Amino acid sequence: MSETRRRFHEELDQLEGDLLAMGRAATGLLARAAQALGSGDADLADSVIQADDDIDERYIAVDRRALDLLALQTPVATDLRLVIAVLHINLHLERVGDTAVNTATVVKATQGMPTRRAIVDRLLEMAAVVGEMVRVALAAFARRDLDLALRLPEMDQPVDRINRDMYPEVAACGGDPRLLEWALRMMAVSRQLERAGDHAVDIAEQVAFLLTGEFQEFTDASHPVRLPDGRTE
């Protein structure tokens, strides 16, 4: 291997490491936002909001490094797919960080309002599943594990179900205007978490693209995923 290629692959390794660090930061922030939601801790919510700058800086750094590799090294084949996948995954992770910040903002905005614990518990369940989804999707990327990536749509099902079930829970709060206002804000959190679950699925789709060379939405049942050995899933 030439010195140029060796240096290029070192830069690719660094890029991947930075992306995985971004993933750990985003999932950690989501967990802290969920903790603030569960406890109503405004100070913890503030710390989540303040950490958004770190997530944004990580996002920009990964994006710039990836674009520099595209501009200066002109990668081809698998290396090109890796850089493209990193760019997409990086964006999805930044959006997961946004979900954490938006959740923390709602925690602060609902201080002093009446609450319903059953709704909070359902949101915490959603957040736990979404956090695990992002971790699994990133593990699939790190290990180049297509089978692991293909687990994400099934993992997303309880998140979608809880989000759908949130509507009657909120409607049941209609007799108390203040409680209803709080519940409507919780429904917005539910929608955010549901979308964060979709971002995890999108990350898994990028893993499949990296490994197969074909992009395909996992939720499109009319086009099964083609595995590297030619089988379909």
What's the distance, CA 116 to chain centroid?
Answer: 27
* Predicted pLDDT at 4: 72
The share of the chain scoring above pLDDT 90, in percent, equals 83
Q: If you average pLDDT over residues 37-47, what whole number do you get?
A: 98
Residue of higher predicted confidence among 221 and 148: 148
pLDDT in tens, 50-99: 999 999 999 999 999 999 998 888 778 889 999 999 999 999 999 999 99
Pick the CATH number of 3-212 from 1.20.58.220, 3.40.50.300, 3.20.20.70, 1.10.260.40: 1.20.58.220
State how far the Cα of 209 lies from the Cα of 217, in Å rounded to an integer: 10
Q: Please, which residues bridge with residue 226 across strands?
A: 232
Taking a C-beta distance cutoff of 8 angstroms, is the pair 30, 96 a contact? yes
Q: In the structure, what pLDDT confidence band is assigned to residue 233 with cuts at 50, 70 and 90? A: low
Cα dist from 42 to 106, 182, 230, whole Å: 10, 15, 52
pTM above 0.75, yes or no: yes
